[in-house]
């Protein structure tokens, strides 16, 4: 490898602001007071926090230095599988910052919110068109919130039929939040295993599907990076017993504009705007998890819903079978603006997004399968999964490989997930990465694998170059520090 992204360049220390502050410094100029000062009664306020006094340059340098310790999608390749950490076009940020959107208050009347209401209404229509579903709510604030919404819709639907069902089928290749979302709604998750090809077999579903089962939660493509090719048959089995099919759409980046989820049997589908539709992701959010449903489930969607009436847009709560309200206001609207901008920018090119994402993942899989163990040697979708099996003889683990990649300037991929693969290394390059950058990543990983054989101590001690070195994860897990001070 000729050159790596990691370097031993300047790394700046940065103390806490409380250590840097000095009494009397100020970073702003306050206007002259036109009223008398009045001392605060500290017996009432308790004294309040002692904020450090800092100059403007101290504040700017503090946060600039801290930013150099961080890594994000604007820094480089972020290959987290099952997370789709793809680049967020800055044109979307520009639209979201327009005063009419950024300055709007959620309590404004509909007459003064026509622009945002139309955007939300149109976004729902676009998402329905892309997924081939019939109705959409953009109220859920994240993917897991969307899952909860879907399970509440399941419950409301069965209740309307006079049925009381207690179980949900959850495959071992589903996203980890699926069982929790089902359990929150009172369902008992029934785990089923995927077959030797990494997908579900219809026979397996037929064995567990009965009249006490509300339905199935399927992540498609699943967490192994494979499309559930038997989904149509599985949906027929579930529907024949009166159940519903929930599709976890967190991996829609692989099939956007290609697969109509409503056409292959899904009754409910959640989307992650912060994954598939290129809005900011990570760091605590905000996210957005719209839920799409087929026509027979539309009455149960949360309220208020954006409707069009006589050429005007307004919120309506006139849906007596609705599961109710799931968000303090109307969802994370700023994220919706970004997704709306993304959809309008690409239009029919959304299909190409998925095609390139799948191409990039398969390119990495083919280039690395002679270096890392590949548990399922077959074409993948948006992500590929390797293991540390071939490095076990040298006492090198998945964690060691991930840590050493940091020294080469790359954020580690997802590790030890999915759980069905021991020592998993899951890589998702997304469509926004160029072949040149992917090639550098591949060469870096090959170099790490070579080091694992010739210099294993380098991996055991990695990372060495970043500001923060290798952490004692065992002690952190067994003796966490849960207090401050």
Distance CA 274, CA 137 (A): 16
Total number of domains constituting the chain: 2
pLDDT value for 285: 65
Same domain, 444 and 304: no
Same domain, 337 and 195: yes
Distance CA 329, CA 144 (A): 18
181: pLDDT strictly greater than 90: yes
Same domain, 146 and 239: yes
The verdict on residue 6 lying in a domain is no
Share the mean pLDDT of the chain.
Answer: 93
Among candidate residues 289, 318, 348, the one where a domain is terminated: 348
Q: Give residue-wise pLDDT tens across range 52-72.
A: 999 999 999 999 998 888 888
484: pLDDT strictly greater than 60: no
Q: Rounded to 5 degrees, what are φ and ψ at 306? A: -80, 125
Among 10-24, 73-87, 181-195, 443-457, the range scoring the smallest mean pLDDT is 10-24
45: pLDDT strictly greater than 70: no
Q: Give residue-wise pLDDT tens across range 238-291.
A: 999 999 999 999 999 999 999 999 999 999 999 999 999 999 886 666 889 999
Would you tell me the crossing angle of helices 350-368 and 333-346 to the nearest 10 degrees?
90
Q: Give residue-wise pLDDT tens across range 388-413.
A: 999 999 999 999 999 999 999 999 99
Among candidate residues 311, 331, 348, the one where a domain is terminated: 348
Q: Give residue-wise pLDDT tens across range 307-364.
A: 999 999 999 999 999 999 999 888 999 999 999 999 999 999 999 999 999 999 999 9
Same domain, 417 and 332: no
Closest among 356, 165, 340 to 242, alpha carbons compared: 165
Phi-psi region of 46 (alpha: psi -120 to 50; beta: other; left: phi over 0): left
Same domain, 449 and 335: no
Same domain, 361 and 414: yes
The verdict on residue 65 lying in a domain is no
Domain holding 371: CATH number?
3.90.1150.10
Same domain, 327 and 198: yes
Averaged pLDDT, 119-143 = 96
Q: Rounded to 5 degrees, what are φ and ψ at 64? A: -65, -45
Q: Could you tell me if 386 and 413 are in contact, meaning their C-beta atoms sit under 8 angstroms apart?
A: no
Averaged pLDDT, 293-306 = 97
23: pLDDT strictly greater than 80: yes
Percent with pLDDT over 90 in the chain: 78
The verdict on residue 81 lying in a domain is no
Same domain, 331 and 453: no
Find where tokens 């759980």 sit.
419
Same domain, 404 and 317: no
* pLDDT band of 123, cuts 50, 70, 90: very high
Better-scored residue on pLDDT, 136 or 22? 136
Distance CA 224, CA 342 (A): 27
Same domain, 384 and 260: no
Same domain, 115 and 250: yes
The verdict on residue 461 lying in a domain is yes
* pLDDT band of 485, cuts 50, 70, 90: very low
Averaged pLDDT, 468-479 = 86
The verdict on residue 266 lying in a domain is yes
Same domain, 235 and 98: yes
Query: Containing domain of residue 116, as a range?
Result: 91-348
- What residues contact residue 123 under an 8 Å CB cut-off, 6+ apart? 136, 138, 290, 336, 339, 340, 343
Distance CA 161, CA 195 (A): 34
Distance CA 155, CA 153 (A): 5
* pLDDT band of 368, cuts 50, 70, 90: very high
Averaged pLDDT, 17-40 = 85
Among candidate residues 305, 320, 348, the one where a domain is terminated: 348
Find where tokens 């002679």 sit.
370
Distance CA 202, CA 232 (A): 9
């Amino acid at each position: 490898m000729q050159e790596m992204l990691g370097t031993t360049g300047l790394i700046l220390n940065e103390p806490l602001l409380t250590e840097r502050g000095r009494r009397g410094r100020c970073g702003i100029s306050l206007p002259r007071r036109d009223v008398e000062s009045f001392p605060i009664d500290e017996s009432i306020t308790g004294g309040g926090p002692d904020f450090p006094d800092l100059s403007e340059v101290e504040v700017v340098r503090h946060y600039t230095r801290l930013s150099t310790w961080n890594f994000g999608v604007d820094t480089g390749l972020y290959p987290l599988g099952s997370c789709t950490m793809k680049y967020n076009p800055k044109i979307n940020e520009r639209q979201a910052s327009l005063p009419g959107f950024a300055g709007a208050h959620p309590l404004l009347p509909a007459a003064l919110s026509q622009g945002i209401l139309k955007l939300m209404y149109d976004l729902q229509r676009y998402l329905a068109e892309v997924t081939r579903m019939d109705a959409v709510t953009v109220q859920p604030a994240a993917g897991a919130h969307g899952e909860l919404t879907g399970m509440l819709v399941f419950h409301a639907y069965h209740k309307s039929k006079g049925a009381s069902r207690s179980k949900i089928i959850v495959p071992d290749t589903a996203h980890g939040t699926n069982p929790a979302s089902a359990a929150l709604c009172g369902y008992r998750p029934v785990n089923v295993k995927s077959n030797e090809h990494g997908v579900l077999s219809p026979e397996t579903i037929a064995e567990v599907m009965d009249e006490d089962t509300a339905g199935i939660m399927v992540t498609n493509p699943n967490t192994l990076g494979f499309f559930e090719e038997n989904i149509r048959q599985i949906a027929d089995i579930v529907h024949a017993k009166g159940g519903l099919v929930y599709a976890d759409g967190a991996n829609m980046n692989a099939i956007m504009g290609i697969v109509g989820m409503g056409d292959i049997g899904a009754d409910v589908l959640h989307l992650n705007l912060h994954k598939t539709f290129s809005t900011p992701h990570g760091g605590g959010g905000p996210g957005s998890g719209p839920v799409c449903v087929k026509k027979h489930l539309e009455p149960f969607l949360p309220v208020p819903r954006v409707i069009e009436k006589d050429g005007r847009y307004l919120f309506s709560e006139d849906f007596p079978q609705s599961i109710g309200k799931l968000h303090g206001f109307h969802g994370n609207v700023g994220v919706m603006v970004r997704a709306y901008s993304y959809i309008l920018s690409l239009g029919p090119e959304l299909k190409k997004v998925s095609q390139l994402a799948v191409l990039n993942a398969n390119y990495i899989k083919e280039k690395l399968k002679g270096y890392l163990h590949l548990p399922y040697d077959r074409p993948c979708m948006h992500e590929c999964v390797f293991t540390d099996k071939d490095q076990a003889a040298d006492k090198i683990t998945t964690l060691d490989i991930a840590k050493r990649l940091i020294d080469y300037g790359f954020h580690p991929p997802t590790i030890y997930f999915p759980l069905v693969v021991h020592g998993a290394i899951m890589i998702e390059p997304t469509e926004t990465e160029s072949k040149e950058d992917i090639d550098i990543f591949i060469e870096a990983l090959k170099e790490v694998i070579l080091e694992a054989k010739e210099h294993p101590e380098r991996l055991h001690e990695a990372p060495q170059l970043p500001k923060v070195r290798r952490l004692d994860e065992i002690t952190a897990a067994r003796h966490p520090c849960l207090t401050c001070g």
